[in-house]
Amino acid sequence: MTRDRFTWLAYGQLSAFGYFFYGFGPVVPLLLQEQHTSRGVAGLHGTGFAVGGVVCGALAPWVVRRFGRRAAMWAALGGMSAGALGFWAAHPLWATLSLAVVTSAFGTLVVIIAMAGLSDHHGPAGPAALSEANALAAGVGLVAPLAVGATVAAGWGWRPGLAVVVPLVALLALAAFLFRVPVPAARPVPPSTTAGRLPRRYRLAWCCVLCTGSVEVCLNLWVADVLRSHSHAPAAVATAALSAVVGGMCAGRFLGSRLLLRRPTPWVLLGALAVSATGFAVFWSAPVLWVAVTGLVILGLGNSVHFPAGIALAVAHSGGQPDLAVSRASYATAVSFGVAPFLLGLLADGVGPHTAFLLVPVFLVGAATVAWRLRRYPATVPAPAPADESAAAALGSV
């Protein structure tokens, strides 16, 4: 794979979204305290993210066809930056929820266009480029909770830490202008296959994506709250500790791609779920903060394989309809992001965040049950999906 100017620009664009996504997660418990709401209500910010992603997924093909990739990409990055700045003025619940929807929609458009562009641009090496891009985005996302935690510790609040995404986007725009980075045009839209029917066993793979997505979003939005309530970590430290999960995901994505080339996908996923369960057990039972952070790193290593393995299972059991399979799987991610954090928040209001977090191993067991059943079914080898439609998986990929 040859990494040229556009490759690095797309990597940077995905990384900008990764910074915002992983930076916003630890903000939710801080909003809970700021707005004096319950955990269930605060969890609606995750629902807002899901709504924005679904809306963007429906509109993205039309936007790209109407305005082209270059204009749509920079408009999306500008909208995401404006949303991040908007949080400076947004204090009431209705305002932060609205911004979560809008900023998520723009951010998801960034991901879809960048993923489609990389897939088009690199052809047969597209999957490698996408895997590398997600790993780099997770690496940049590793910095976000640290930055937000640092501004909280300095007494500035969380908003300056989240707004760091704005100068990142400005630097990308400057580099694209100075180096005259070309952006490949979108291919003509191929005939739609959305009227097709998927095999029954595809529903198992869909449920697997739903369960693993629920694990990731619960950790992203509520792990800081658990660290404060159970490990007695200061707010700034608990916020920054989410970087342990993201760091494990960054390393695991580089290693997981090699495992998926050498072993059957269900077995790789089962191994990853076992690693995640081990990390959760260490984190949940940790008597001190450093042990809890160690558990979070292990959790991240296991979680890194969940999404690519889940999408691979969905495609393998789609009856030769990979575009339709990936499109439907993106809605599983949206449902998980909309329902799981809200459900966990409601449970935490009743039994406390530490006990409520036992919902995470329930999702892990659900995903493991599906993977165990799918190992018995032969996988089909579908034709390559068109580059633009393969981007439908972008909704939960960072």
Residue 193 lies in a domain: no
Work out the mean pLDDT of the chain and round it to a whole number: 78
Check which CATH number belongs to the domain holding 178 and give it: 1.20.1250.20
* CA angle centred on 333, ends 330 and 335, rounded to 5°: 110
Read off the pLDDT band of 276 (50, 70, 90).
Answer: very high
Is the pLDDT at 58 greater than 50, yes or no?
A: yes
Does residue 384 surpass a pLDDT of 70? no
Contact status, residue 34 vs residue 156, Cβ threshold 8 Å: no
Confirm whether 173 is domain-assigned: yes
Residue 110 belongs to a domain: yes
The domain tally of the chain equals: 1
pLDDT band of 39, cuts 50, 70, 90:
confident
Range name among 63-72, 162-171, 308-317, 388-397 with the lowest pLDDT average: 388-397
What pLDDT shows up at residue 274? Answer: 94
Instruction: Say if residue 265's pLDDT is above 90.
Output: no
pLDDT above 90 (res 365): yes
Helix (H) or strand (E) holding 131: helix 126-141
Q: Is residue 390's pLDDT more than 60?
A: no
29 in any annotated domain: yes
Higher pLDDT, 320 or 97: 97
Place of tokens 């809200």: 342
Query: For the chain, what percent of residues have pLDDT higher than 90?
Result: 9
Tell me the C-alpha distance between 392 and 322, whole Å.
Answer: 11
> Is it the case that residue 386 has pLDDT exceeding 50?
no
Nearest to 313 by CA among 377, 262, 390: 377
- In this prediction, residue 357 has a pLDDT band, given cuts at 50, 70 and 90, of confident
The answer to whether 296 and 249 are in contact (CB under 8 A) is no
User: The domain containing residue 181 runs over which residues?
Assistant: 5-186+200-382+389-396
Residue 195 lies in a domain: no
- The residue among 189, 185, 181, 176 whose CA lies nearest residue 68 is 185
Return d(Cα 205, Cα 229) in angstroms, integer.
35
Question: Could you tell me how far CA 245 lies from the centroid of its own chain?
Answer: 12
List Cβ neighbours of 43 (8 Å cut-off, separation of 6 or more): 28, 221, 222, 341, 342, 343, 344, 345, 346
* 3: three-class secondary structure by DSSP: coil
DSSP state of 383: P
Q: How many CA atoms lie within 13 A of 356 on its CB side?
A: 23
Q: What is the pLDDT of residue 211?
A: 92
Q: Alpha-carbon distance 191 to 216, whole Å?
A: 34
Asked whether residue 52 carries a pLDDT value surpassing 70, the answer given is: yes
Q: Is residue 191 in some structural domain?
A: no
Residue 148 has pLDDT above 90, yes or no: no
